[in-house]
Amino acid sequence: MSVDGNLFDVQNVSVVFQIGGLLGGVKLVAVNDVSFTLSREKAEIFTIAGESGSGKTTLSRLLLGDLHPTSGKVFFEGRDLSEFRSRAELKSFIKKVQPVFQNPFETFNPLRRVEAYLFDTAINFGVANNVKEAAMVVDHALQQVGLSLAEVSKRYPHELSGGQIQRISIARALIPRPRVILADEPVSMVDASLRMEIVNLFRTLRDEEKVSVIYITHDLATAYYISDRIAIMLRGNIVEAGPVEEVLERPMHPYSQLLKESVPEPEPEEKDAWVKHISLGVTEVNEYNQVGCKFAGRCPHVMDVCRQADPPNISVGPRTVKCYLYTEQAREAAGHPEMEEARK
Amino acid sequence: MAILSVRDLRAYYRTEAYGISRTVHAVDGVSFDLHPDEIYGVAGESSCGKSTLIKVISGNVKPPLKAYSGSVEYDNGLQKVDMLTISPEEMRRNIRWKEISYVMQGSMSVLNPVRKIIKTFEDIVESHRGIQDKKVFREQVEAHINRLGLPTDVLNAYPHQLSGGMRQRVAIALATMFQPRLIIADEPTTALDVVVQRGVLQMLKEIQAESKNTVLLVTHDMAVHANVADRVMIMYAGRIVEEAPTKTIFKSPLHPYTKHLISSLPMIGVRTTKTSLRGSPPNLANPPSGCRFHPRCPLAMEVCRTEIPEMVDVESRHRVACHLVKGGAL
């Protein structure tokens, strides 16, 4: 069952990778029981945040239809992605969901002029029927990102700066007039002085072109700056999700709290607090294979129950938290300072 | 008294192919001092010359890179060593790892992937000091890494078995094995997650506080400098634009480029619109005339196009190269 009112409807999706041979291999749950929706009515920027190995890229492959879930379903405009059979169906889906990748210099072939990609996209998706029409479409898309065809024409990728080429990569994604842009770490390879122009561009696209953006990142500061909602991932699980102000200003899950605390603030006054002791996991695989809550090994509030079974998703106001600290019983027992806050 | 002093250093990459010669002015007239017991931060965007600067300081100059003028003097407490003319043999025997050591960005390329961590320790110590007794040596290494808060098990692991943060901390443990007077850390946490980054920098800071040596920390991340460095130098297109104690740089930056870098940093809890600079960092094979920042500067004047701004001391320990400051406009 899906809700027709949503662009994306992700329902209890899990992905299990088999690592190793036929007999003695290990199973790795890269995405575990993840659910969220993206509204059709209102364009928004939805951030999926997490550290390396948190499963955010696997999740983005699911959304692009590049990978099918082991269990659960992904719906786009009410249709199950795994049921697309014909090329036409797939194409009409890809047209509406366009990716922007991390490294713009790898997105474009260095031996081909960048405009060739823009023209190809316009013609392959049927947005334009001939080169003349395509030129108009391409120019319009470039205008949307603050460039023009005249500036870009005849240029090779190495002749453009990192900021420019990432904007061209976004312009390419805009050509088929998508409903959603899925941007996987779009600013991590871009210089600091140019980063904000890319981030601001996503804001403009949301407000003026009504394009929703799924912003996948490890950078909480830019996530706070542009997004409406955020989901924080840890080892394949969404541990906390909700409006970005709520989640990042007052994180409830102990992992979100640690993550927020670890973001270095550009405030030299408080530097001693930031370098206070924290414990680190020795290897990632240990945490993936942990039964129950993946954060149990590092959590300051760990209880016996955390190591026994997956914590439930608990709604607290507009957000959900996947943590035993916020269950009915725990709330009754009280005691944690976070609990006090949750009740308020 | 400075432990390392760099004066008017100019280091260029010169290549010649098919009769076309090309010179990249990567470091162009840089002067600064490193003092004992401090963490000195170097900030700047990609291709601003910070890696070239480190190569020259650490005596690692190979063609096409060449130091054309200026001096780099390292004071080892007894005598001054000229890092530009030192022989590779002398460098290996007396300076590298013992006096000046490095922590690099990709720790995977420091650690030998087919040897256990303990073997890498052996290789390095063997070639610089020699090992008499392997058992005693192992005890020394164990004591050293325990002091840094690493478990003894890592010595028996291969690099790929460790997480990125753990590998980077092993690289720091290697770099501090001989208690060097100067540790050069080039983007030590750039590829790491925030939580791990915090752990690695915390370790580097603790080592510095304990052994009172000097750390030269190079990273493009201003927020890291805010939390770790004592003084910060900002580089733009091969030159220093501003240098000051960390608090001063963040509270009262003077150069328009520094101001932009700091005001454009996104922060959790602040939603005001941040902007980018127009244009992009210059190509150092053909840098702009006058002040190299002038094509992108919102406050550029006529003089900025023609004259290179001099470095001016505004306060003690705060200097800046900008015509506006000299003219008293800022």
Give tens-digit pLDDT for B146-169: 877 788 888 998 888 887 778 888
Distance from CA of B94 to the nearest CA of A (A): 33
pLDDT band at B187 (very low <50, low <70, confident <90, very high): confident
Measured distance CA(A146)–CA(A311) in Å, rounded: 46
Which single residue is written with the structure tokens 């409406």? Answer: A228
Q: Does B264 touch chain A (CB under 8 A)?
A: yes
Interface of A with B in 47-76 (CB under 8 A): 51-52
Q: How many other C-beta atoms are found inside a 10 Å radius of the C-beta of residue A189?
A: 17
Which residues 176-205 of chain A have a CB within 8 Å of chain B? 191-197, 199-200
Under 8 Å CB-to-CB from A60, ≥6 apart: which residues?
A: A48, A99, A182, A184, A214, A216
Q: Which of A162, A191, A280 sits opposite B165 (nearest CB)?
A: A280
Q: What is the reported pTM?
A: 0.85
Judged by a CB distance cut-off of 8 A, whether residue B247 touches chain A is yes
Per-residue pLDDT at B33 exceeds 80: yes
B266 contacts A249? CB cut-off 8 A: no
Task: Name the one residue in this structure whose structure tokens are 């208690």.
Answer: B179
- For residue B292, pLDDT beyond 90: yes
Bridge partners (DSSP) of residue A27 are A18
Residues in chain A within 8 Å Cβ distance of B163: 280-284
Q: Can you list the alpha helix ranges (DSSP code H) found in B241-294?
A: 246-251, 256-263
Among B194, B260, B261, beta carbon nearest to A259: B194
- A139 backbone φψ class: left, alpha, beta (φ>0; ψ -120 to 50): alpha
Strand order in the sheet with A229-234: A97-100, A180-184, A212-217, A45-50, A229-234, A237-243, A319-322, A313-316
The alpha carbons of chain B give a radius of gyration, in whole angstroms, of 21
Name the residue of chain A whose CA is nearest to B205's CA.
A275
B90-141: pLDDT as tens digits: 888 888 888 999 888 776 677 888 999 999 999 888 888 788 888 999 999 9
Largest CA distance in chain B: 69
CATH 3.40.50.300, chain B: domain bounds? 4-99+180-326
Q: Compute the distance between CA of residue B182 and CA of residue B204 in angstroms, rounded to an integer.
A: 12
Using CA atoms, how far apart are residues A318 and A246, in angstroms rounded to an integer? 8
From the list B195, B191, B151, the residue with the least C-alpha distance to B170 is B151
pLDDT tens string, chain A, 344 residues long: the values are 455 678 999 999 999 988 766 666 677 888 999 999 999 889 999 999 988 778 888 999 999 998 999 999 999 999 999 888 888 999 999 999 999 988 888 888 889 999 999 999 999 998 999 999 999 999 999 988 888 888 888 889 888 877 788 889 999 999 999 999 999 988 887 777 778 888 999 999 999 999 999 999 988 999 999 999 999 999 899 999 999 999 999 999 999 999 998 888 888 776 666 666 665 554 455 677 788 898 888 888 889 999 999 999 999 999 999 999 998 877 777 655 555 555 54
Pairing of strands B65-75, B4-17: antiparallel
Pick the CATH number of B4-99+180-326 from 3.40.50.2000, 3.80.30.20, 1.20.1250.20, 3.40.50.300: 3.40.50.300
pLDDT in the model for residue A29: 87
Which chain A residue has the Cα nearest residue B232?
A: A268
The answer to whether A192 contacts B197, with C-beta atoms less than 8 Å apart, is: no
Which pLDDT belongs to residue B199?
Answer: 83
State yes or no: pLDDT of B253 exceeds 60.
Answer: yes
Check residue A162 and give its pLDDT.
78
Q: Inter-chain contact B228–A275, Cβ cutoff 8 Å?
A: yes
